[in-house]
Amino acid sequence: MDAEVRERFPLLRLPRFARFWFADSVSMFGTYITAQALQVLAVLVLGASAFELGMLRAAQWLPYLLFGLFAGVLVDRYRRKPVLLVAADISRAGLLALIPLAAYAHALRMWLLIAVVFVFGAASVLYDAAHQSFLPSLVPPELLTRANARLEQSSSVAQVAGQAMAGLLIKVAGSAAAVLADAVSYLISGLVLARMRVDERAGDNEHCRFGGWSHVGGIAGRNDWAGPTMQRNAMTITRTEDAAAIEQILADQYKAWAAGDADAFVADYAEEATVIMPGTYRRNREEIRLGMTESFATYLENSSVTDEIQDIRLLGADCAIAISKAGILFAGETEVPAGRFVHATWVLVKRDDRWLVAAYHNSPVAAR
């Protein structure tokens, strides 16, 4: 029954999307609570005029006009989760918490409320820009439409239920307490996102830059003052370290294979990694993990792999290809039959000084 449900609702197989969906929904509910609470707070507590109410509304949306283009550039240059999504949520939680604290201390003034809302709007610009480009790192392309639909459904529910909750909170606890509830919702969202493990690209540094020696380590392109000998030595050291790191990744994977540990097996795979073998296509790390879990429990139980790395080609500072010859040893076997060997191609990318498998493909070794 569980397998049938997951087949009908494929997004349930992606726990990272589920966490993101939950975090986004929680903060969305809080947003609609604050939308109501701020106006009540401004009118009933601070005695705001019609002009001041207009300034308050403008303060929330003016940052989108002023900083929208800059936010897009910033999002493109940095990783979305830690720098933008988490930082934006935590900062918005802190900003909103200032409002009830100032109200309870009898220090809240209209100018302070407008200033806090303006800075809050600036943080929201960053969050919204990162939010749109973060989703593809959580779900495969074929599920993006469904994922966006779920987020929009949550937004629609929050728009109705959030405002109803706002009315109840304002009546029971007051408008300042309602704003505090929104601050808590952003804090929960930020903490959920912070605990979510995602491999994502950080701007131009993550692209494969083909060009061989001139780009390895990013040295020759930037340190024009360095002499030819220094450049060659530095690049040689970098190439040696990268090749050793890649060899260790392959060794760790086959060690995990021998232990039947699917989690350890995919530890060095990128989130969007793909695996293509005869009759098999895995579209992301989670699918690879689930497939290996099932295989280790059945026909690959107590098996191991013999692997011989035949070549490692560093295509640039952050992209490489490894070629190996491998064969599976099933339980009780001491030698891999000749017809069972495969040639494997590994595509690896370097992110945050760590090599990850982005794609794997194998095919049977041709008989000679």
Tens-digit pLDDT profile for residues 268-319: 999 989 998 877 888 899 999 999 999 999 989 999 998 888 888 888 778 8
Q: Are residues 249 and 142 in the same domain?
A: no
Q: Are residues 186 and 307 in the same domain?
A: no
Phi, psi angle pair for 268, to nearest 5°: -105, 20
Q: Are residues 188 and 220 in the same domain?
A: no
Q: Say which DSSP state 367 is in.
A: P
Query: What is the number of other CB atoms lying within 10 angstroms of the CB of residue 13?
Result: 16
Say which residues have a Cβ less than 8 Å from residue 143's Cβ, sequence separation at least 6: 10, 11, 14
Phi, psi angle pair for 207, to nearest 5°: -85, 145
Interhelix angle 50-77/15-40, rounded to 10 degrees, is: 160
CATH number at 220 reads: 3.10.450.50
Could you give the CA distance from residue 47 to residue 42 in angstroms, rounded to a whole number? 6
Q: Are residues 192 and 240 in the same domain?
A: no
Torsional sign, CA 304, 310, 314, 320: negative
Q: Are residues 219 and 74 in the same domain?
A: no
Look at 7-11, 45-49, 239-243, 346-350 and tell me which has the smallest mean pLDDT.
7-11
Which tokens hold the place of 170?
Answer: 């304002």
Q: Are residues 44 and 178 in the same domain?
A: yes
Q: Are residues 107 and 165 in the same domain?
A: yes
Q: Are residues 147 and 12 in the same domain?
A: yes
Q: Are residues 191 and 218 in the same domain?
A: no
CB-based contact 210:316 (threshold 8 Å): yes
In this predicted model, what pLDDT tens digit does every residue of 162-210 receive, in sequence order? 778 888 888 888 888 888 888 888 888 888 877 777 655 554 434 454 4
The pLDDT of residue 72: 67
pTM: 0.51
The pLDDT of residue 5: 44
In a domain, 300, yes or no: yes
In a domain, 203, yes or no: no
Q: Are residues 164 and 232 in the same domain?
A: no
Q: Are residues 242 and 314 in the same domain?
A: yes
Is pLDDT of 222 > 80?
no
Domain end call among 198, 226, 241: 198
Q: Are residues 258 and 194 in the same domain?
A: no
Range of the domain at 254: 212-364
Say which residues have a Cβ less than 8 Å from residue 23's Cβ, sequence separation at least 6: 89, 188, 189, 190, 192, 193
Could you give the CA distance from residue 57 to residue 60 in angstroms, rounded to a whole number? 6
Domain count, the chain: 2
In a domain, 295, yes or no: yes
